[in-house]
Structure 1
Amino acid sequence: MMDYQKLLVVIDPTTDKQAALARAVELASDNHAEITVFLSIFDFSYEMTSILSGHEREAMREGVVNQRKAWIDDIIKPYCKNGIKITTEVIWHNRPFESIIKHAIDGNYDLIVKGTHEHDKLKSVIFTPTDWHLMRKAPIPVLLVKSDEWPIAGKIVCAVNVSAEDDANETLNGKIISHAKKLAKQFNAQVHLVNGYPGTPVNLAIELPDFDAHTYSETIRLQHEERICYLANAYGISPDFCHVKEGLPEDVIPDLAAELDAELVVLGTVGRTGLSAALIGNTAEHVIDSINCDLLAIKPDGYKSPLEEL
């Protein structure tokens, strides 16, 4: 599972510069992986043209698809060296995220790689609705690519959760670290672990006059430090690369990634559906709004995509 043998690269139709493809080729070069370059297109105006017969509409659709295929063939040419196998797939579909996830499931892909939009003025990333859907609903890891190159001897940050000690959480932590270590080996990078712990609840300090906020906070911090070092030790990571900071994960993780000038943040995402998806953006979604590097989102074991039933 941790082997990226089949990579699905989602192409960006708005630009010739494809950061996701460049990253996928880097990933593939070591283990002779297969790459499929994927584009999902849809033009509403063709669907609405009532003067066209079904047959003519089909022909127009095919024309657009073939045009796009030719454009992609030009883009992949420079990458088809060194024995890397790249195939292309252009699909007419009105919901890109659905067609991407469906293709990834049907083709047993190991990783979805997609570029994100950089917003030059603010140096922040603009995530499209497709990005959000992929992170919530794709059953396989999703790598959202922002920067152009990963330097040798860079840094990878694993956002782990050591506040809950249940099996599912521990397994997810293990998965996050294993993915990071695999990439660290290939790119000769350092793996760092980060964990945010909650500050002192204000109501406790108010309700209990003798409450010692400092001691409480220290106790929580030490508990988190002990657990993160235990986790690091289990995976052969130096305690010097463990970072425990007070605050919400969505503040702590981007701050540390910026401080370390990390190339990649790896975190777990819990797929939410229905009402909770609308109301509660999970940590991953808050985090990616403010990180300035690539992001690898991992699903917990046993996660079933709502699209797997379709």
Structure 2
Amino acid sequence: MATLLAIVDPGFDDLSALKRAEQLAIDTGARLHLFCCDYLHDISAFSSRKEAKASTLAQNKAQLEALAEPLRQEGIAVSTEAYWNSEWQESAVHASSRVGAYLILKSSPLKTPGSDSEAEVALLRKANSAVLLVRDSAPWTHQRILAAITPDGDDSGHDLLNNQIITQAHRLGQATQSTVHCVTALEQKLQIVDVFILLADNHLPDEAEVHSNEEHISQRFGVPPERIHIHLGPPREVILQTVEELRVDVLIIGTVARHGVKAALMGNTAEKLLSVIDTDILVVN
């Protein structure tokens, strides 16, 4: 049985990720693992750090179990885990690997200065599974999923990432009965089939079979041509415009895992969109 890991923030005041996880568990038949990581820097209310840890873990575990019980009554298999660590993103990644989760869900309202955005970006970069950042707990109503793909003849890694993005899009679309759209931003006009030929290890349609960039993408990724959106311009602006025009429920985008100084200095399209997109964002690594 597939597993979803829902991160429940300490304080239990924002349950957006849990509500979205419940919806997806019902749609997909997945089990849920509710995970809460907490840490107290100020332990003055306790006699020792050991007491602070034990008390916090016991309280959080009890609250997780209280959240899990109604879900179990709905027929959803639910496990819970309370953890103690100052680096919640590191602990969430390890927990995801332990339970074999294919998707991590986290509540992620639009960020303000001084928020926990750096830790969130670290989660996106280091997670071994896709991460769904939940902006709002309201049900998905427009039944549209937008997958952002990047043809790049110089980087086979982009080709693999594109395939992972599309796989997630089709999987989610089938589970939620949503239509899948694709968006591609081009810095300059080009024939996308030429890019894919450089990367392909299987048959691509002949020029006589396919005539437009939209049809090339349709043939390769199984999305109807009328749902392919190709625009000239920087990826951030193109994706943002398409999200707003289509009123999508979730944007699926890829990011590249990076570590060390290079990771601190280099951003990417996914990370730049976190502060401006108000719809759910599924990030594939």
Equivalent position of 1:162 in the other structure = 151
Indicate which of 131, 134, 147 corresponds to 2:120: 131
Q: Within the alignment, does 1:71 sit opposite 2:57 as a pair?
A: no
C-alpha distance 296-33 of structure 1, shift in aligned 2 (>3 A): same
CA deviation profile, 1:1-29 (whole Å, cap 9, x unmatched): xxx81111100224434111111111111
Q: Which amino acid aligns with 2:172?
A: L
Tell me the secondary structure at the aligned position of residue 248 of structure 2. coil
Work out the percentage of aligned pairs sharing the same amino acid: 28
Distance 1:144 1:39 in 2: 16
Distance 2:9 2:169 in 1: 26
Contact 2:145 2:252 in 1 (8 A): yes
Q: TM-score, length-normalised on structure 1?
A: 0.78
Answer with 1 or 2: which has the greater Rg.
Answer: 1
C-alpha distance 276-220 of structure 1, shift in aligned 2 (>3 A): farther
Q: Which amino acid aligns with 1:101?
A: V
Q: After the TM superposition, which residues 1-310 of structure 1 pair with which residues of structure 2 at under 5 Å, given as runs?
A: 5-46=2-43, 52=47, 56-118=48-110, 128-151=117-140, 154-164=143-153, 166-198=155-187, 218=189, 226-299=212-285
Q: Which amino acid aligns with 2:9?
A: D
Segment drifting more, 71-80 vs 105-114: 71-80
Q: TM-score, length-normalised on structure 2?
A: 0.85
Q: Structure 1: which 5+ residue stretches go unaligned?
A: 199-216, 300-310
C-alpha distance 270-25 of structure 1, shift in aligned 2 (>3 A): same
Q: For this pair of structures, how many residues does the alignment match?
A: 268
Cα distance, 1:101 vs structure 2 = 0.7
Q: Structure 2: which 5+ residue stretches go unaligned?
A: 196-210
Distance 1:251 1:127 in 2: 24
Cα distance, 1:169 vs structure 2 = 1.9
Distance 1:193 1:275 in 2: 33
Contact 1:117 1:127 in 2 (8 A): no
RMSD between superposed Cα atoms in Å: 2.6
Contact 1:249 1:287 in 2 (8 A): no
Contact 1:153 1:190 in 2 (8 A): no
Tell me the secondary structure at the aligned position of residue 162 of structure 2. helix
Q: Which amino acid aligns with 1:293?
A: T
Q: Which amino acid aligns with 1:286?
A: K
Contact 1:251 1:287 in 2 (8 A): no
Equivalent position of 1:203 in the other structure = none
